[in-house]
A and B are shown apart, each in its own frame.
Chain A
Amino acid sequence: MENDILEKEAAIIDALREEISGNYGNDRGCMIPILQRVQNALSYLPRDAIAMVAAHLGVPVSEVYGVATFYNQFRFNPPGRYPVKVCMGTACHVKGGDIILENFERRLEIKEGETTPDREFSIERVACVGCCALAPVALIGDEVHGHMAPSKVEGLFSRIQIQKEIEERKKNESGN
């Protein structure tokens, strides 16, 4: 999965290589800011991008992996078009956040940290999103959905489906 990067992504990595050699130094302290920049542009760290960072800093690829895998922020799978994030903060746990996570996993047939093969959905567990009064909470993209329940999971997917259909229709109309 890590190997099949898209052409578009390869182009971004090339552009990033330029940008990074121009804007960042090559001392060790720059590693995390550079990785953050790369992830910002690509939404994840593909193997080629890690190799590029390692070349820039003049350290082995394994060193970069070592640092990147240590931190929760970095991900190595491309996120889906609709990234699902389930809050696993304390309040959400007490109110059954794990049940919500399970429902998403069951519905999408992937585990947390994975992306559906069509790259439409991905599931992640996140630390407290800070709206404990709405627990349990899940996010789809940046949209927060509070007081989650298993039946609401189903409802959210129907909503996304409807939105997609509307977009499709609009696209077709504007095309005509």
Chain B
Amino acid sequence: MNPGTKENIAAQLERLREEAFRRQDQLRRSPLPKIHIGLATCGIAAGALETKAAFEQTLAERNIEAHVHTVGCLGHCYAEPVVIIEHPESGFPPIFYHEVSPGKAKMLTKMFIEGGDPRFEHVYGATEVNDMIPSVMDFSRFNLEKRVIMDKCGKIDPDDIYEYIAEGGYTALAKALQKPRRQIVEEIKASGLRGRGGAGFPTGVKWEMALEAAHDEKIVICNADEGDPGAYMDRTLLESNPHQVLEGLMICALAVGAQEALFYVRAEYPLAVKTLGRAIQQAQELNLLGEGILGSAFDLKVEIFEGSGAFVCGEETGLIQSVEGYRGMPRHRPPYPVQKGLNDRPTVINNVKTLALVPPIVTRGSAWFRGIGTEGSPGTAVFSVVGDVVHAGLVEIPMGVTLRTLIFDICGGIPNQKGFKAVQIGGPSGGCLPESFLDTPIDFDSLTEAGAMMGSGGMVVMDEDTCVVNVSRYFLDFTQKESCGKCTFCRIGTRHMLRILDRLTCGTALEDDLDLLSKLAKEIKAGSLCGLGKTAPNPVLTSLKYFRDEYEAHLTEGRCPGMMCRPLTAFYIDLDACARGCDACAIVCPTDAIFTTSTRKKGIDQSLCVKCAECVVACPPEYDAVRKVSPASLAPIIERPDKPVSEDDEDAATGGTPPEPGEGGA
């Protein structure tokens, strides 16, 4: 590369930055109030679009000028829709409001934006430290996080490339363009970055292999085929800050010498596909993509391939098959995709989060990155923590933080004063860890050692009312359906495991089922080609290891300790608590399983009951008469009267028969 080009690159970027700053200043220096609304899929699902409309409508009605600024997701799903209001004139710092319904939006417009009263009872916290309002940084949900991947998520408008540039975007690309390829690869290698897709393969090594592959046409692919049920960090990232991922992909292509790049995004993520498409288009318009990027000799064409939803396509070779137009069945490795991948060309496949980590590493250096996290797993990791936790959502933490800190300190622990039972990490390929593992540090090696795995970062917290067997069955049901069918062990083995688990959760298990289950699990792990089959038995194996007593309760007693397996539980109505003449439960019962007894109380017909627990909700708290038991045989049998008690009969009953002693008159 000649030095003239180098200057050219820096100058071109500088021009873009100036324009970005000019635009940013317009917004930042504006004395008008600014309303930032998170509009990623999760926000929209919680009603953020209606909230936005309510703000806009009220502003228009009352003739108030303000900027309504759409941003991505902050990761605080428990608080959606999230709104941050900056109102410089009021004298208050920017304020974070949670669960802003359209009504709340109207009220805030009137009271705060127009009247200057921030309505303290609705404030969650100020976004910066100040003397007036406690800052959100005082909450551990905010201050224990370390954001590198999601640093700009929820702060910038994902649809405006200039906002990303103003925050320092594309400087890493410009820096990389001025370096020899080998040096970029060395930097990534030195950083110790490991693939965030789950397996944790060193990214630098992968890039080096691709760089050394002798082929003119190389290709890089961003794997955004996030199939793990309950994990949505890749989607959030693409919806909230697509440019960081795009920049990472471009640096990767530059480093390995590829001229083509591909985003493999699930078609189920329509908003992510749209946002990404717009990001690519904007980058092209600014000469950040296409031919002669930023005046250098580097050309890159980026396309989006919409994946059609097959979990196994998260596996590299399955993904390639799918892009080539075949069933997404993984093939044998070697040759690895970096040697012979898509259309036999060397192909580098990296996860969304891995690529999002590349620009910060290039900008701030590998030593900085090594300073975060642990020796073996440097950097940060993003988890989607869901299930029975108070502050569910996306959390980015440095590697090495313990599970206890993550679940109890950052995410607020278990709601409703319930006890902790287990945490399921890594989705269908991960494992279920009990309380004794809460002090395990979160990094690739420690989790694998414990029998779970990092996986894509899905984390389900379960309280004492959750059945581990049932959850394991759920994951196995998922992998069994998603098995591509190539390897016999995976195809048929998972089906048999599922059958055994079905028997366990229905109370029809056979004596040696548990031994058979663990034997099958081990054989499937050994006899499968790809990661799906190799890890599919993990949820069962770990739960069998740590929660064997629960499996045994299902097997021998037909009892579900978490009272979750419906065939093993029963509802009944405690006649001592039930109120005469009250119909609350009978009205809501979807199957008409609740009948009136001869004493005008209620009983449940066990043969009709589907155990939906609607009657528990409907029963007035002062009676609280519906009980749940396991095993089902514990429920007392209440006979349904042969002839339904009609209105006339009831009148006769009240007049005729005396009320039972101790229960008072009707």
Contact = CB atoms under 8 A, between A and B. Distances in A.
Nearest to A66: B327
A150 B588 contact: yes
Interface in B466-483: 466, 471, 474-475
6 contacts: A32-B306, A33-B306, A72-B310, A90-B427, A134-B45, A149-B617
A102 interface: yes
B473 to A, nearest CB: 10
A99 B481 CA distance: 20
A53 B452 CA distance: 43
Interface stretch (B22-30, B282-290, B386-394, B434-442): B386-394
Contact of B310 (A71, A93, A131): A71
B115 interface: no
A130 B41 contact: yes
Interface residues of A, number: 46
A78 B188 CA distance: 49
A153 B591 CA distance: 13
Contacts of B194: none
Contacts of A27: 325
Given A90-B427, A93-B471, A130-B41, 13 more contacts: A32-B308, A35-B308, A93-B474, A94-B471, A96-B612, A99-B613, A107-B590, A127-B227, A129-B41, A130-B42, A130-B235, A144-B44, A151-B618
Which of A28, A32, A153, A154 counts the most chain B CB atoms within 10 A? Answer: A32
A86 to B, nearest CB: 13
Contacts of B305: 32-33
Contact of A71 (B80, B309, B427): B309
B230 A131 contact: no
B458 interface: yes
A103 interface: yes
Given A128-B229, A149-B614, A90 B328 contact: no
Contacts of B322: 32, 71
B230 A90 contact: yes
Nearest to A72: B309
A90 B458 contact: yes
B614 A150 contact: yes
Contacts of B424: 90
A31 interface: yes
A31 B328 contact: no
B351 interface: no
B387 A94 contact: yes
Contacts of B611: 99
Contacts of B650: none
Contacts of B184: none
Given A67-B327, A74-B308, A106 B591 contact: yes
B327 A70 contact: yes
A35 B471 CA distance: 35
B77 A131 contact: yes
A88 interface: yes
Given A29-B323, A103-B612, A144-B45, A132 B392 contact: yes
A88 to B, nearest CB: 7
B267 interface: yes
* Residue of B46, B77, B308, B471 with most partner-chain A CB within 10 A: B308
Given A90-B474, A94-B471, A128-B231, A150 B386 contact: no
Contact of B309 (A67, A73, A149): A73
A133 B231 contact: no
A162 to B, nearest CB: 19
Interface string B1-45: 000000000000000000000000000000000000000011011
B649 interface: no
A20 interface: no
A154 B618 CA distance: 15
B78 A133 contact: yes
B324 interface: yes
B326 interface: yes
A91 B614 contact: no
Nearest to B458: A90
Interface of A: 27-33, 35-36, 66-67, 70-74, 88-91, 93-94, 96, 99, 102-103, 106-107, 126-135, 137, 144, 146, 149-151, 153-154
A144 to B, nearest CB: 4
B124 to A, nearest CB: 15
A143 B574 CA distance: 39
B230 A89 contact: yes
A150 B590 contact: yes
B484 interface: yes
Interface string B228-245: 011110011000000000
A131 B42 contact: yes
A133 B392 contact: yes
A31 B328 CA distance: 13
Contact of A70 (B227, B310, B475): B310
The 7 closest A-B pairs by CB, nearest first: A90-B230, A71-B308, A131-B45, A72-B309, A28-B325, A73-B308, A31-B325
A94 B80 contact: no
Interface residues of B, number: 55
B328 A70 contact: yes
Contacts of B325: 27-32, 67
Interface in B33-70: 41-42, 44-46
Contacts of A67: 325-327
A98 to B, nearest CB: 8
A151 B328 CA distance: 40
Contacts of A144: 44-45
A127 B268 contact: yes
B610 interface: yes
A90 B462 CA distance: 11
Interface string B367-385: 0000000000000000010
A21 B41 CA distance: 35
A32 B42 CA distance: 28
A103 B393 CA distance: 28
With most chain A CB atoms within 10 A of its CB, the pick from B327, B392, B471, B588 is B327
B460 interface: yes
Interface in B589-629: 590-591, 610-614, 617-618
Q: Which of A29, A35, A153 has the most CB of B within 10 A?
A: A29
A151 B614 contact: yes
Nearest to A143: B45
Contact of A36 (B42, B306, B326): B306
Contacts of B80: 131, 133
A133 B77 contact: yes
A129 B612 contact: no
Contacts of A96: 612-613
Contact of B386 (A103, A127, A132): A132
Contacts of A74: 308
Contact of B230 (A30, A99, A132): A132
B612 A90 contact: no
B267 A73 contact: yes
A138 B478 CA distance: 19
B308 A90 contact: no
A153 B462 CA distance: 26
A99 B231 contact: no
Contacts of B45: 129-131, 134, 137, 144, 146
Contacts of B460: 90-91, 94
Nearest to B562: A94
A150 B427 CA distance: 27
A126 B613 CA distance: 23
